[in-house]
Chains A and B, each alone.
Chain A
């Protein structure tokens, strides 16, 4: 394999249950990290519901995305951000989430999008 390393920003924008989109975006991010890409995550829109604590996915026989979030550190994914507006609109407290994230304002998100080599939003 070559050593081409790119910064790939994944925008997690779908709620964790009801469709597989959120889980598949996380899968893609983990796969990219396994291929030694610089992976960044931005939780945005209903994607911030992935960060809701105390989810019990087995109650609806759904896959547990919270466990996937815990795997991020093992894939060396450390740049994990969330949209302050999306969190606030949904009443989520940035200091009490299922995963430690850096909540960022729109101006910082604009910088993130500009700096990334590519942006994946599924």
Chain B
């Protein structure tokens, strides 16, 4: 089974963290954006880099709504807290990329 990566920061503010995540992830892994990580949904360059890395993208719905990003949220599969737990359980391990 693949790895679930979680990211809580924007690529604009924490470019090094974002770049290291992309270097360490394997195509076919899953990326879940949470907290300020959902701002990446409004960043075309970040979305392209995630797609180029072959990652399946999810984002935490409450964090999207809280930040008024519902329109941009369509760029990812959105999950609630139960969905977060389900993702954690369906992957072999979770790697947290936190600023």
A residues contacting B by CB (< 8 A) are: 13, 44-46, 83, 85-86, 89, 106, 109-110, 113-114, 116-119, 121
Q: Is the CB of A85 within 8 A of B17?
A: no
Check A106/B23 contact, CB under 8 A, given A45-B16, A46-B16.
Answer: yes
**In contact, A121 and B26 (Cβ under 8 angstroms):** no
Please, which residue of chain A has its CB at the minimum distance from the CB of B19?
Answer: A85
Contact A110/B17 with A119-B95, A121-B95, A121-B97 known, Cβ cut-off 8 Å? no
Q: Shortest beta-carbon distance, B29 to chain A, in Å?
A: 9
Q: A85's closest neighbor in chain B, by CB?
A: B23
Total interface residues on B, CB under 8 Å, equals 15
| B16–A109 CB distance below 8 A | no
Chain A neighbourhood of B40, CB < 8 A: none
Interface on chain A toward B: helix, strand, loop, or mixed SS?
helix
In the assembled complex, how far is the CB of residue A80 from the closest CB belonging to chain B, in whole angstroms? 16
Closest to A89 in B: B16
Contact with A along B1-42 (1 / 0, CB 8 A): 001000000000000110110011110000000000000000
Is the CB–CB distance between B26 and A110 below 8 Å?
Answer: yes
A45-B17, A46-B16, A121-B98 known; A106+B93 contact, CB < 8 A: no
Contact residue among B24, B93, B97 (Cβ-Cβ distance under 8 Å from A110): B24
The reply on B96 being an interface residue by CB < 8 A is: yes
| Docked-complex contact B97 and A116, CB < 8 angstroms | no
Report how far A113 CA is from B2 CA in the complex, Å: 10
By Cβ-Cβ distance, the 4 closest A-B pairs, closest first, are A106-B23, A119-B95, A110-B26, A109-B24
